[in-house]
């Protein structure tokens, strides 16, 4: 038994409601099941109204698998539980007679009130090794239920992504360009070098970059220098010149100390993803537009947004993956940002920023733009999408794929089925 299943039963009123009594033998009537409190601290249901004997009570309901969980969870010492008017449990292993303030705490036991079919279904979903726990029942849920749930999950995913943006935005004292620059840089680091990229970006304020935006060479000097990748005895003339330029610019702008070269990872990576190539691409992007965020929110079409990120590195990087080691000129144009990478950047950075901007400015049109952008981008290709495809789901747009990733990682993998619209529909079909 899990507590969230008890919440589900209460939320959907799917337990035997006839002749209810508290464990001390008083008649009980539920007049209002109240509101589910899924996120905030305090009792599980607020604004509940019940009648015990002849007296009507208004307050909160707290639920536990065992009544003794009241002690285990320390509710007796927590004022947030002062207003509990009913303790609903699966089984009463120990009478809890007093609430936080020493008053009587009535208890309702659900153990013999749960319909057999619903419990067995819940049990079979919870205990299997399928790719998603409800795999054998998924097809029984209507398309409209799934579509509406996926729309909600897309928003949920964007909200979750904006949490990290909100933290950085506050750290940057409300500077949109600075925050966007740091997130773009982080994304260019991909998984392996995302932290060093962000640390590097924090060492090169976007206002400094803006002053040099017309000189790609100077931008490269700033990025490679603050990344700590110019601290070597170079053979090639190009890095030697970058080194000199960096020393001058570092003094001129009183920049903080660079990162250590050892912060960066090169091993077990494709050369196209080396941080040197990523930094060169990032420099080319700043060279194209230093005030990226202003451009992004400026109602650009999706085609123009993509064009903004179609960048090409300086010539040196057409024949090098690292300093001083020439490589064969690539026919695959590795010095350019590929269309798939651009799409991923729009999905993972631009859309969440538009959404966060819309949320913080109470601008629904901007939030809608984030959703439209995702609707018009192709879905990511990964094993999660392969799994959903095998269940017959449409995974064409990024809006879909983002929602499906949210469903798999936040609900299916934690067996959070009673809080999933698909799971609720499956369990409801059993009663």
The residue ranges that bind ligand SF4 (CB under 6 A) are 132-134, 138, 407, 411-412, 416-417, 420, 422-423
Gap between the Cα atoms of 209 and 222, Å rounded: 8
| Shortest distance in whole angstroms from residue 411 CB to ligand SF4 | 4
DSSP H or E stretch at residue 322: strand 320-322
Nearest Cα to Cα of residue 424 among 141, 32, 38, 139: 141
Q: What is the spatial distance between Cα 170 and Cα 179, in angstroms, rounded to a whole number?
A: 9
Phi, psi of 32 (to 5 degrees): -150, 125
The 8-class DSSP code of residue 203 comes to T
State in angstroms the smallest separation of the CB of 12 from ligand SF4: 14
Report which of 73, 83, 3 is spatially closest to residue 38, judged by C-alpha positions.
3
Least Cβ distance, residue 420 to ligand SF4 (angstroms): 3
If the CB atoms of residues 130 and 244 are measured against ligand SF4, the closer one turns out to be: 130
- CA 93 to chain CA centroid, nearest Å: 39
Cα(135)–Cα(334) distance, integer angstroms: 41
Q: Residues 304-323, buried b or exposed e (16+ Cβ, 10 A)? A: ebbebbebebbebbbebbbb
Residues linked to residue 29 through DSSP beta bridges, in sequence order: 51
> How near is the Cβ of 408 to ligand SF4 at its closest, in Å?
7
CA distance linking residue 375 with residue 401, whole number of Å: 10
Distance of closest approach, residue 398 Cβ to ligand SF4, in angstroms: 20
- Residue 70 or 411: the one with the smaller Cβ distance to ligand SF4 is 411
What tokens were used for 172? 């940057």
* Residue count of the chain: 431
**Residue closer to ligand SF4, measured from CB, 194 or 416:** 416
Cβ distance to ligand SF4 smaller for residue 341 or 416: 416
Minimum CB distance to ligand SF4, residue 278 (Å): 35
Q: Which is nearer to ligand SF4, 125 or 197 (CB)?
A: 125
Shortest distance (Å) from residue 103 CB to ligand SF4:
38
Q: Which is nearer to ligand SF4, 59 or 423 (CB)?
A: 423
Question: Which CB sits closer to ligand SF4, 342 or 422?
Answer: 422
Which residue, 220, 222, 242, 218, is CA-closest to 324? Answer: 242
Q: Which is nearer to ligand SF4, 203 or 408 (CB)?
A: 408
Asked if 169 contacts 162 with a C-beta cutoff of 8 angstroms, the reply is: no
CB of 142 to ligand SF4, least distance (A): 13
**Alpha-carbon span 314 to 55, nearest angstrom:** 80
């Amino acid at each position: 038994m899990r507590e969230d299943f008890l919440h589900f039963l209460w939320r959907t009123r799917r337990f035997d409601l006839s002749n209810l009594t508290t464990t001390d033998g008083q008649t009980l009537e539920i007049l209002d099941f109240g509101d589910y409190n899924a996120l905030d601290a305090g009792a599980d249901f607020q604004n509940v109204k019940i009648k015990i004997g002849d007296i009507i009570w208004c307050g909160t309901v707290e639920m536990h698998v065992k009544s003794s969980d009241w002690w285990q969870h320390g509710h007796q010492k927590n004022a947030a539980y002062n207003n509990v008017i009913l303790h609903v449990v699966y089984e009463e292993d120990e009478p809890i007679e007093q609430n936080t303030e020493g008053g009587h705490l009535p208890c309702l036991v659900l153990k013999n009130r749960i319909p057999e079919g619903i419990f067995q279904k819940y049990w079979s979903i919870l205990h299997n090794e399928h790719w998603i726990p409800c795999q054998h029942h998924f097809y029984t849920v209507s398309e409209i239920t799934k579509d509406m749930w996926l729309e909600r999950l897309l928003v949920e995913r964007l909200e979750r992504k904006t949490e990290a943006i909100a933290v950085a935005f506050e750290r940057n004292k409300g500077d949109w360009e600075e925050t966007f620059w740091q997130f773009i840089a982080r994304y260019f680091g991909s998984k392996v070098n995302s932290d060093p990229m962000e640390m590097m970006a924090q060492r090169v304020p976007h206002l400094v970059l803006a002053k040099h935006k017309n000189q790609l060479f100077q931008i490269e000097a700033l990025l490679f220098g603050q990344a700590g990748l110019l601290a070597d005895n170079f053979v090639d003339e190009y890095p030697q010149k970058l080194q000199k330029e960096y020393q001058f610019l570092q003094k001129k702008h009183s920049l903080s100390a660079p990162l250590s070269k050892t912060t960066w990872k090169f091993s077990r990576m494709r050369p196209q993803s080396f941080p040197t190539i990523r930094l060169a691409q990032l420099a080319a992007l700043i060279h194209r537009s230093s005030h990226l965020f202003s451009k992004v929110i400026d109602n650009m079409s999706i085609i123009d947004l993509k064009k903004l990120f179609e960048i090409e590195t300086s010539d040196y990087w057409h024949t090098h993956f690292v300093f001083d080691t020439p490589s064969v000129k690539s026919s695959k144009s590795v010095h350019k940002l590929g269309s798939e990478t651009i799409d991923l950047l729009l999905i993972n950075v631009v859309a969440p920023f538009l959404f966060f901007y819309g949320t913080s400015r109470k601008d629904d049109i901007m939030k809608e733009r984030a959703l439209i952008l995702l609707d018009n981008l192709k879905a990511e290709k990964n094993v999660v999408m392969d799994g959903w495809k095998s269940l017959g789901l449409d995974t064409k747009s990024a809006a879909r794929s983002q929602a499906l990733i949210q469903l798999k990682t936040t609900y299916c993998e934690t067996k959070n089925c009673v809080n999933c619209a698909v799971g609720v529909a499956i369990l409801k079909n059993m009663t």
